[in-house]
Amino acid sequence: MKEVFNTPRKTIVTCNRRLSPYLDQEIRALGFEPKRVFNTGVEVLTSINDCIRLNLNLRVASQVLYEIASFPAKDATQLYQALIQIPWEEVIPFDGYFSVTSNVHNETITTPLFANVKVKDAIVDRIKDKKGVRPDSGPDLSKAVIHLHWIDERAEIFLDTTGETLAKHGYRKHPGKAPMLEALATSTLLATKWNSKEPFVNPMCGSGTLAIEAALMAQHRMPGLQRMNYSFMHFIGYDEEVFFEERRRLKEITQKNNLPVIIASDIAPEAIAIAQANARTAGVEHLIQFEVCDFAETTIPEEAGVIMFNPEYGERLGVHTKLELTYSRIGDFMKKSCKGYRGYVFTGNPELAKKIGLKASRRFEFFNGKLDCRLLQYELYEGSRD
């Protein structure tokens, strides 16, 4: 077990539903060859040192899970018996702290918490037997994390090398109302094939997540630079030099010059104040032109690029008839003022989307939380701007 940091094994990189095509794209760009892509993740063959690189570089991922064992388990007793055979004393420091997460679908288990307790008991009993001391455990994901994936009669046990999810990028101290998850925002940008050189315009920007992610992408600045604690740091065998070397490399590839025009506007001064605060935390406030105005007064650079709206959907916020007018105005504005641009509207309301009045050239499927959403693409053909 001591060689896990250098031994390639099955690794599952998880993500939110429908984001795996974009996660696959990111993983391939890092030079890894995915074995399998499924709805909520990508399977690769990596060592834990490779997992360090994945954790620091991925924008779309949630967790990076490194498999250490798989075995049949009909019930909790069989699960415990298999787990106590694993040399946990070579993985988790006896004076350390660990937590257990799980994904369980087994007919003998009514609550995943019971399965988590069985995993915790096996680890603690094994280490106490070998070392005479028991490590602490609890729900906090700030140190070593063990993940159980138990479907029917097959169990897999992983070292969760991540801890707190990667899907949040660490800069959003002020979420605003109905914020878009950072990993989702990145995925929508990847779907547009925005080249990080042309202008990116985000009217109705809310807490600024789309504009901030665009600025981070334009800089080639990885979200891993925002964070100094991961689960992999709390397993036996961790070499901090591998982590710091990757951080140094990421700082070196960060672009400082020839960055694109990024504009974020919102009619609410308090939304812009929140967006600016978040951009400041992310280190990109100087790269974004913030404007307090109605979306139809947003500055549109002459050089064509991408314009993206993420308006209210009418599910939890806003009044429906008022939103119908807003969506209609969005269509008019793109048609008249954004010629030559690629226009995008992200919405969870297909009825409101019809009010845009333009024919979508493509529709990308996403979920925002549990809400079925679409990113609608519009080709806004060249011509004189009114």
Is residue 230 very low, low, confident or very high in pLDDT (cuts 50, 70, 90)?
very high
In 3D, which of 59, 71, 66, 81 has the Cα closest to residue 15?
A: 59
Residue 265: HSE in the Cβ half-sphere, 13 Å Cα cutoff: 18
Q: Do 150 and 74 contact (CB within 8 A), yes or no?
A: no
CATH topology of domain 182-222+255-379: Rossmann fold (3.40.50)
What is the model's pLDDT at position 224? 92
Amino acid at 146: I
Strand boundaries in the chain, DSSP class E: 9-14, 36-38, 41-46, 64-72, 97-105, 136-137, 144-151, 154-160, 200-202, 262-266, 288-292, 306-309, 342-347, 362-368, 371-379
pTM of the predicted structure, to 2 decimals: 0.94
* 3 state DSSP class of 100: strand
Inform me whether the pLDDT recorded for 159 exceeds 60.
yes
Residue partners of 350: CB distance under 8 A and separation at least 6: 374
What is the model's pLDDT at position 326? 96
What is the model's pLDDT at position 383? 59
Inform me whether the pLDDT recorded for 91 exceeds 80.
yes
Inform me whether the pLDDT recorded for 175 exceeds 90.
no
pLDDT digits (tens, 9 = 90+) for 110-143: 898 999 999 999 999 999 999 999 999 999 999 9
pLDDT mean over 39-64: 98
Is residue 385 very low, low, confident or very high in pLDDT (cuts 50, 70, 90)?
very low
What is the model's pLDDT at position 173? 82
Cα–Cα distance for residue pair 341/157, rounded to 1 Å: 48
Cα–Cα distance for residue pair 158/145, rounded to 1 Å: 9
* Percent of the chain at pLDDT exceeding 90: 91
Mean pLDDT, the chain, as a whole number? 95
**What residue ranges do the domains of the chain occupy?**
2-160, 182-222+255-379
Cα–Cα distance for residue pair 52/235, rounded to 1 Å: 12
What is the model's pLDDT at position 319? 55
pLDDT mean over 241-265: 96
pLDDT digits (tens, 9 = 90+) for 267-300: 999 999 999 999 999 999 999 999 999 999 999 9
Cα–Cα distance for residue pair 5/59, rounded to 1 Å: 22
Q: Does domain 2-160 have CATH number 3.40.50.720?
A: no
Residue partners of 126: CB distance under 8 A and separation at least 6: 83, 84, 86, 87, 88, 89
Residue partners of 313: CB distance under 8 A and separation at least 6: 347, 348, 349, 352, 371, 373
